[in-house]
Amino acid sequence: MMSEADIVQTVARVRGGEADAWGVLYQELAPSVFRLCRRALPTRQDAEDATAEIFMKARLRLTQYDSERPFRPWLYSLAANHCWDELRRRRRQRETAGDLDALSAESPEPGPLTQLLAEQNRRDVRSALARLSDRDRLAVVMRYYAELSYEEIAEVLGVTSSLVGVLLLRARRRLRGMLDKEGRA
């Protein structure tokens, strides 16, 4: 795993015209961006598409990145905003088309019993996450899947870090309530 200083140096190489440096950044950061997208968006395919689109946006907006600040939060901010925009776009489409199944979670083929139980738990959590508001879902995903700090989440969402704490507390309570109600604590 590259340090933040290595990432900033690699970004400088990209800005300097080294095409290979962008590939290094992609290989290093795409898995974590994908995980964030996978938790925020309903299907694996959506997350894969979003990851590619986010890196295209990042490449185009690289001139806007301030190298005095950490790169990962800047990239996660792009990712979170992209996912948020995608969720809003889908909600508008769903409201227009009346398609209530647009955000259903995909279910991969189950394996042995332990894998089946683990997958059921992931689906339950994914389903519960999908029922949270977009802002709450993104806060949870950024905190627990992308491991961003309260300050980084606050910057992405445009709120104070104390409000991030409140959002996360409420979201955890809602998730726990939904999972308890379904008997899946």
Last residue of a domain, one of 77, 101, 125: 101
| Distance from C-alpha of 153 to C-alpha of 159, rounded to nearest angstrom | 8
Residue 88 lies in a domain: yes
Last residue of a domain, one of 58, 77, 101: 101
Same structural domain for residues 156 and 96?
A: no
pLDDT at 106 over 50: no
Same structural domain for residues 45 and 135?
A: no
Residue 96 lies in a domain: yes
Q: What is the pLDDT of residue 110?
A: 46
Same structural domain for residues 89 and 143?
A: no
Residue 129 lies in a domain: yes
Q: What's the domain count of the chain?
A: 2
pLDDT tens, residue by residue, 120-138: 777 888 888 888 888 888 8
CATH number of domain containing 36: 1.10.1740.10
| Distance from C-alpha of 76 to C-alpha of 126, rounded to nearest angstrom | 20
CATH number of domain containing 147: 1.10.10.10
Summary mean pLDDT of the chain: 83
Same structural domain for residues 142 and 176?
A: yes
Domain, as residue range, for 117: 111-185
CA atoms within 13 A on the CB side of 69: 13
Same structural domain for residues 57 and 144?
A: no
Q: What is the pLDDT of residue 113?
A: 64
Same structural domain for residues 4 and 38?
A: yes
Residue 106 lies in a domain: no
**What are φ and ψ of residue 170, in 5° steps?**
-65, -40
Sequence-ordered list of residues with C-beta below 8 angstroms from that of 100, at least 6 positions apart, any chain: 94
pLDDT grade for 100, boundaries at 50, 70 and 90: very low
Q: What is the pLDDT of residue 178?
A: 87
pLDDT grade for 48, boundaries at 50, 70 and 90: very high
